[in-house]
A and B are shown apart, each in its own frame.
Chain A
Amino acid sequence: MLSAIRFWPQPLLGLDIQAEEIRLLQLQGTLKKKRIKNAVATPLPRGAVVNGKIHEAETVTDCLQTMVEKNKLQWSRVAIALPEQCVMSQRIRVAKGLSESELEVEMMTHLRHAFPDVIDGFFYDYLIVDSSQAMQDEVLLIATSYANLNIPLSVVQNAGLKIHVVDVDHYALDRANEYIEFDGIALEEKWRISFGLALWSYRW
């Protein structure tokens, strides 16, 4: 989807909110010679985040705000990740050669048909993953409900950050692993999601 790759990073922090701590990671350097500029973490009280879902929004906001102020990161742009269990992903076949708007309509129709109970609406994105067939394209549709994303959005914004990207944790992890394998960077396991999110700096 985001084909344009930047050689110089846009300042974008990878923010990973896990059960035990919040992690912020920032990269710098060119696409080929990137390095970690900043990596900070702050512990969270038990029960604030359970299974990747924020249960105590105020506590998480306070912790994040303290972390942001301490590191002078107010109004920084961040990329966050939703846990895999909070998003729906489907592979759909669509007619080949649809325009952008036609594809958009197709995705919306599919979402409404697949989830008639969701009233508020969706956050969603899609990308063509396979266009090798003659008549059809395979599209990966990722979606989540407003309810799943509203809390993380409000927590991050109340802490003084600006959300620029909402990713999915296992996609961020895959991306991080791929880059680590390619570049040979030594990075602790726990930082990988935030690293994968920070890699968005080099994309649109």
Chain B
Amino acid sequence: MVDVNLLPWRVMLKEERMKQRQCFLIILASITLLWMITHLGFNCFLQAMDTHQQELQDQLITLSGQTQQKQVDSSFMMINQIQLNQKELLHFFKSIMNENSMWSEIASKNNQINLFGMMDSYEMLTEFVKRYHFLNNTNLMTILNVKTVENSSAISFHVQIARAVMTCLSEIQKDNASA
């Protein structure tokens, strides 16, 4: 049996195969391009993420450094203040010891300083407390006991002051712990 086709089927077949090959190459190139774009895009995204993370870490380090510096600064300021207060307190006590007052006992217990003594009048005691609070508003002075001396306007007293350095140190320790 003879099967012949006088149309140029060989040429058409070649063209069709060439088209198929071109189509295959185009698809392959598209897939490769798509893969490259996706891959590069993903890498860029990862790099951007890394950079961003690094920036955040740098910022965090800077901020924590600044916070620590601030804490140290505030601690130094507080210590300075305490030292000043202590000096003022000493100076104050020196000044009032020269006046009409008598200190029978100065006792330190835990964080408190207990002062015992006598003064000429109750007004002098209140004046003394006022002046103390005017000069030192961080450490409160508490009047624990006042007694009048018989046949006289003089009084005996017992006042208590929170020990400044200890209190401030505990505050600093609290701040450091919370930071």
Contacts and interface: CB of A to CB of B under 8 A. Distances in A.
Chain B interface mostly helix, strand, loop or mixed?
A: loop
B3 A104 contact: no
The 6 closest A-B pairs by CB, nearest first: A166-B6, A123-B6, A125-B4, A171-B2, A142-B4, A165-B5
A163 interface: yes
Interface residue range, chain B:
10 to 19
Interface in B7-36: 7-10
B107 interface: no
Interface in A105-155: 123-127, 129, 140, 142-144, 149
B1 A2 contact: no
A2 B3 contact: yes
A83 B6 CA distance: 13
A165 B4 CA distance: 9
A166 B7 contact: yes
Interface string A161-204: 00111111001001100100000000000000000000010010
A193 to B, nearest CB: 14
B4 A123 contact: no
Contacts of A200: 3
Interface residue range, chain A:
20 to 34
A124 B6 contact: yes
A123 B1 contact: no
A163 B9 CA distance: 11
Interface string B132-171: 0000000000000000000000000000000000000000
B6 A127 contact: no
Given A127-B4, A168-B2, A175-B3, 6 more contacts: A125-B9, A140-B2, A166-B5, A167-B6, A168-B6, A171-B3
Given A140-B2, A174-B1, A164 B7 contact: yes
Contacts of A174: 1-2
Interface of B: 1-10
A184 to B, nearest CB: 18
B46 to A, nearest CB: 51
Contact of B5 (A87, A167, A175): A167
Residue in A1, A125, A140, A143 whose Cβ sees the most chain B Cβ within 10 Å: A125
Residue in A144, A149, A166, A178 whose Cβ sees the most chain B Cβ within 10 Å: A166
Contacts of B6: 82, 87, 123-125, 142-144, 149, 166-168
A133 to B, nearest CB: 19
Contacts of B3: 1-2, 127, 167, 171, 175, 200, 203
14 contacts: A2-B3, A2-B5, A82-B6, A87-B6, A125-B5, A126-B4, A127-B2, A140-B4, A165-B5, A166-B5, A166-B6, A166-B7, A167-B3, A167-B4
Contacts of A126: 4
Residue in B3, B8, B9 whose Cβ sees the most chain A Cβ within 10 Å: B3
A163 B7 contact: yes
Contacts of A171: 1-4
B95 to A, nearest CB: 121
A149 B8 CA distance: 12
B68 to A, nearest CB: 83
Given A104-B10, A164-B7, A178 B1 contact: yes
A175 B4 CA distance: 11
Nearest to B10: A104
B63 to A, nearest CB: 76
B8 to A, nearest CB: 7
